[in-house]
Amino acid sequence: MRLAPDVAAVQIETVAMGIQRRHRLAVELAQQDVRQGLHDGRRRTREEIRNTHLQPPVFQPDETVRIGEAAEHHAQIGQRSARPQLAEHPRIDLFRRFEEKRTLETLDVAHPLGVVHLLSRVPRAGPFGCTFHTGMGYPEFLKERTTLPKAKISALGCYTPPRVLTNQDLEKMVETNDQWIVDRTGIRERHIVGPEMATSDMAIEAAKCALAERGVAASEVDTIIVCTVTPDYFFPSTACLVQNGIGARGAWGFDLIAACSGFVYGTTTAAHLVAAGTHRKVLVIGADTMSRIVDYTDRATCILFGDAAGAVLIEPAGDGEDDLGFIDFIGEVDGSGGDFLKMPAGGSRLPASHETVDKRQHFVFQDGSQVFKYAVRKMYESCRDLLKRNGLTGDDVAVVIPHQANKRIITAASDRLGIAPEKVLINIDRYGNTVAGTIPLATRDAIREGRLHKGDIVLFTAVGAGYTVGASIWRWAY
Ligand code: UT7
């Protein structure tokens, strides 16, 4: 092993060694002159990594390697046996030196369930603490993986409850009228669940629909992400209820609270899980039962919301599909806007009490005009920036699928973007604002109406309570 003159210290952090041996080696190297230590220890080091016939690594003169840096785990591209290496960092990327030398052996951590906790081998390395749901042991997973997969949406299913609440119905409940609602929001009717259903029930229906469309069994699902602000309970999470409801045995999952941006955040999260190569079938569900937290005596909010759920399955793109799937995401949260749209009570800030109930603080509160102005500006800015950094213009986008909060927000933002109205999907007239459900519902309608085809670029965009802002672009994959 050759060492550059100015190398200060070296960490040999290979998972091919036992922890104690690795530790001992690192301590020894730290305690003595590193150059001399490495020189003297060359043979032993090479034995440690069971490399008796390959070239040793070479450290560049401008590199130092610090003891105590955590390692990451990467599959190597285009090679027969995969190997661990340090993080992609110029100063600590020690094992890149081994990359073309085949100096490390495949990990011996096979598990019958294909679930590997590398923490047991590299206790200090955070990124190793990952659970893999590949249906195979980690060595096999690494061997099979030759490149980072791209994530694609492969199926979509929706659920809307049969009961419809029209503007005319609302005219009988609060002082409003159809004309005002249509003019100010674009909404004509919305769907409301029956008393027997909650968010998980709608989410389960949507999930089953998506899985059936793809012909995938629930037992194949790795992960369930439920985006919602109206979970059945604070805990257990709705994802747990969905897992049990669809029979996704062995899946893991969680709820994601990002209000109207939930579905954009959830699909982006799923895309990254898939792109990491560790997950193959991620269900993302946007589901909200807003009728349970809307005050039907408040005309400013009760006309806006409806109930629905939509689910997508996100998987690695297949052979020959390199150009399909997730392209990019832009997101921002701005908590300074939190007071403009919220449910004031029921959390740890203001737990439920007689007083909170009397003050109707368990319902949606909104300062509509504040949210309106922010939503128009941020929907425009996020889409503009996302398209620009990907070298795209509105002409390249086949269809824009915006969160459906108000028709005027959508048209104002898309006009500023210069996107032709016929490219912008609006279905708020039939469903109202279903929060995390709007984008999957609108995507379903885009497909049904023949406005979204394989290979098309689709732009998802949302602004919601929080504030939360998110936009993503995908090349549609089916
Ligand atoms: O999805 C999450 C993010 N949410 C949003 O993006 C929603 C953003 N905000 C909005 O969409 C709009 O602000 C609303 C639709 C909520 C309200 O529209 P607006 O044009 O901002 O109306 P406004 O609140 O300024 O109210 C205008 C007038 C008021 O009367 P005065 O004070 O001018 O006499 C309201 O009392 O309209 C009145 N009004 C209504 N009239 C008939 C408010 N609600 C109603 C109603 N029917 N339902």
Per residue in 356-376, pLDDT (tens digit) is: 999 999 999 999 999 999 999
As a whole-number percent, the residues of the chain with pLDDT over 90 amount to 67
427 catalytic residue (yes or no)? no
Sheet holding 282-289, edge to edge: 151-159, 307-316, 282-289, 223-227, 252-256
Predicted local confidence at residue 149, as pLDDT: 80
434 lines ligand 1 (CB under 6 A): no
Catalytic residue chosen out of the listed positions 51, 403, 406, 427: 403
Output the CA–CA distances (angstroms, integers) from residue 467 to 217, 332, 371, 464, in the order listed.
Answer: 36, 8, 9, 6
> From the CB of 185, is ligand 1 less than 6 Å away?
yes
- Ligand 1 in contact with 337 (CB < 6 A)? no
Query: 101 or 250: which carries more pLDDT confidence?
Result: 250
301 Cα nearest atom in ligand 1: 16
Calculate mean pLDDT across residues 411-418.
Answer: 96
Going by alpha carbons, the residue nearest to atom 29 of ligand 1 is: 300
- The mean pLDDT value of the chain amounts to 81
Residue nearest to atom 39 of ligand 1 (CA): 300
Q: Give the Cα separation of 48 and 162 in Å (integer).
A: 66
Active-site hit among 209, 227, 240, 260:
260
User: What kind of fold does domain 151-475 have according to CATH?
Assistant: Peroxisomal Thiolase; Chain A, domain 1 (3.40.47)
Mean of pLDDT values over 159-170: 98
pLDDT band at 111 (very low <50, low <70, confident <90, very high): very low
Distance, in Å, from the CA atom of 198 to the CA atom of 242, rounded to the nearest integer, reads 11
Higher pLDDT, 96 or 32: 32
Average pLDDT of 326-344? 97
- Rounded average pLDDT over 190-197: 97
Distance 411 CA to ligand 1 centre (A): 17
User: What's residue 113's pLDDT?
Assistant: 39
pLDDT above 80 for 136: no
**Is 433 among the catalytic positions?**
yes
% of the chain surpassing 70 pLDDT: 69
- Using the mean position of ligand 1's atoms as its centre, give its distance from the Cα of residue 263 in Å: 25
pLDDT at 322: 82
Average pLDDT over residues 408-416: 97
Q: What is the pLDDT of residue 319?
A: 86
State if residue 116 touches ligand 1 by the CB under 6 angstroms criterion.
no
Structure tokens belonging to residue 293? 């937290």
pLDDT of amino acid 121: 31
pLDDT grade for 442, boundaries at 50, 70 and 90: very high
- The more confident residue out of 148 and 59 is 148
Q: Smallest Cα–Cα separation from 288: which of 147, 186, 441?
A: 441
Answer positive or negative: Cα dihedral of 130, 135, 141, 147.
Answer: negative
Whole-angstrom distance, CA of residue 194 vs CA of residue 225: 24
Does ligand 1 have an atom closer than 6 angstroms to the CB of 348? no
Buried b (16+ CB within 10 A) or exposed e, 226-235: bbbbbbbeee
Q: How far is CA 18 from the centre of its chain?
A: 35
Measured in Å, residue 166 CA sits from the centre of ligand 1 at 18
Q: Which atom of ligand 1 is nearest to the CA of 371?
A: 8
Q: What amino acid occupies position 43?
A: R
**pLDDT for position 297:** 97
Mean pLDDT of all residues in 390-407: 96
pLDDT-based confidence at 44, cuts 50/70/90?
low
Q: Average pLDDT for residues 64-76, to the nearest whole number? A: 37
366 C-alpha to center of ligand 1: Å?
Answer: 10
Segment among 50-54, 386-390, 422-426, 452-456 with least mean pLDDT: 50-54
What is the C-alpha to C-alpha distance for residues 287 and 198, in angstroms, rounded to an integer?
Answer: 10
Taking the model in full, what pTM does it have?
0.74
Q: Residue 381: name the closest of 416, 355, 410, 406 by CA.
A: 416
**pLDDT score at 273:** 96
Atom 14 of ligand 1, nearest CA residue: 368
Query: Is residue 377 within 6 Å of ligand 1 at its C-beta?
Result: no
- Protein residue with its CA nearest to atom 42 in ligand 1: 176
- For the Cβ of 269 lying below 6 angstroms from any atom of ligand 1, the answer is no
Residue 260 near ligand 1, beta carbon < 6 Å: yes
State in Å: Cα 187 to ligand 1 middle: 13
pLDDT at 473 exceeding the cut of 80 = yes
Among 173, 293, 369, 429, name the best residue to mutate to test ligand 1's pocket (greatest count of ligand atoms within 8 A of Cβ). 369
| Rounded distance from Cα 165 to ligand 1 centre (Å) | 19
Please compute the mean of the pLDDT values over residues 415-439 and round it to a whole number.
97
Q: Which residue has the higher pLDDT, 10 or 254?
A: 254
pLDDT at site 16: 55
User: For position 320, what pLDDT does the model report?
Assistant: 87
Q: Say which residue, 350 or 87, is predicted with more confidence.
A: 350
405 CB under 6 A from ligand 1? yes
pLDDT mean over 115-123: 32
Mean pLDDT, rounded, for 377-398: 96
372 C-beta closer than 6 A to ligand 1:
yes
Mean pLDDT of 268-277: 95
Domain ranges, ordered by start, for the chain: 19-144, 151-475
Atom number in ligand 1 closest to CA 366: 16
- Return the axis-axis angle of helices 407-417 and 368-389, rounded to nearest 10°: 30
